Structure 1
């Protein structure tokens, strides 16, 4: 274990921790000594029951079940990482988004963090310490109007909520930070690149270039890896980042064209 960074003895909740950057973050936190509980709708193979809670976090009841499990199994929490997110909205711009689509985007990308913070932050305040990481998205600044208006708006709301929360709880010893990824090379994004490549009659690298072009280009020339995102989250969650709060850290290979 790298002596520079440790999460030894920390109790952590990581939502959306069964695949992609979420799974990488769970693995790194455990490697660094944290006791981690993660969530999804159903339990994947390889995770012990003690490390997992099956819950639908898009509902108030699911968030209540996770909060209860944190109290029962860990006796509280020192770090919360809200990684759950995504979009199932159809393409077609604003006109394709009805009431159900808007509510689904908010229930997936904003409300789980709000509800779990409301349930578990009082414990952090009472102990005088804690870290909350809200994973937003560069699409709050660079929305794709054809397909991600609802997702981008929900992530923008999460970012503003996070900033407000940081100002409220920092005097109580609780840090709140945001991590804003661009394109991450997950299995799901590779499948998207493969589908785009097949539709365009090109290869996988061509499909990746299509995604990068849709984002306006990635100066680094590649997406971030799940491990790179996990590394940033682990640092911000650690005591090494003890005076960092209220800020947003972009990890996008240079996609966002302004500082």
Structure 2
């Protein structure tokens, strides 16, 4: 059986937050192979820019970073069809639940969960 998904997503605009490394990069690469126009975001420019993937550098934990991405993406591409909320990561201490404070939980949950709602709303059609 041949699973050829080449150009399955041709003409679709996809945004992958946290798309410069790891899981986000793998998702962005797969979307691109399927024919989507892919935009990735991260706090820092990607070490290697893989064509035809576009990048927007912004700190998405801040409202102005989110707005910058929304404005830039819609200004260049006009719409968004696929949103992959992959941003996140954690700088919490090692040692499991026993060493995590309430502040550790809040600093991990806010960017990885609460801000995702804002992203979804920002790109919902009016």
Aligned positions of 1:23-172 closer than 5 A: 23-47=25-49, 51-90=54-93, 91=95, 93=97, 96-99=100-103, 101-121=104-124, 123=125
Matches of 2:5 and 2:26, distance apart in 1: 20
Distance 1:98 1:70, change over 3 A: same
User: 1:6 offset after TM fit, Å?
Assistant: 0.8
User: 1:102 offset after TM fit, Å?
Assistant: 2.9
Q: Tell whether the 8 Å contact from 2:17 to 2:86 is kept in structure 1 after alignment.
A: yes
Q: Structure 2 length as normaliser, TM-score?
A: 0.82
User: 1:65 offset after TM fit, Å?
Assistant: 1.2
Q: Tell whether the 8 Å contact from 1:37 to 1:53 is kept in structure 2 after alignment.
A: yes
| Residue-pair matches, total | 121
Q: Secondary structure at the match of 1:38?
A: strand
Q: Tell whether the 8 Å contact from 1:63 to 1:112 is kept in structure 2 after alignment.
A: no
Matches of 1:112 and 1:75, distance apart in 2: 22
What's 1:8 paired with?
10
Aligned positions of 1:231-242 closer than 5 A: none
Matches of 1:14 and 1:92, distance apart in 2: 29
Distance 1:59 1:94, change over 3 A: farther
Structure with greater contact order relative to length (CA < 8 Å, sep ≥ 6):
2
Larger radius of gyration: 1
Q: Tell whether the 8 Å contact from 1:10 to 1:34 is kept in structure 2 after alignment.
A: yes
Matches of 2:111 and 2:5, distance apart in 1: 36
User: 1:15 offset after TM fit, Å?
Assistant: 0.6
Q: Secondary structure at the match of 1:44?
A: coil
Q: Which has the higher helix share?
A: 1
Q: Secondary structure at the match of 1:87?
A: coil
User: 1:5 offset after TM fit, Å?
Assistant: 7.0
User: 1:112 offset after TM fit, Å?
Assistant: 2.8
Residues 145-203 of structure 1, C-alpha deviations (whole Å, 9 max, x = no match): xxxxxxxxxxxxxxxxxxxxxxxxxxxxxxxxxxxxxxxxxxxxxxxxxxxxxxxxxxx
Residues 103-145 of structure 1, C-alpha deviations (whole Å, 9 max, x = no match): 3112221133111111111x2xx5xxxxxxxxxxxxxxxxxxx
User: 1:94 offset after TM fit, Å?
Assistant: 5.3
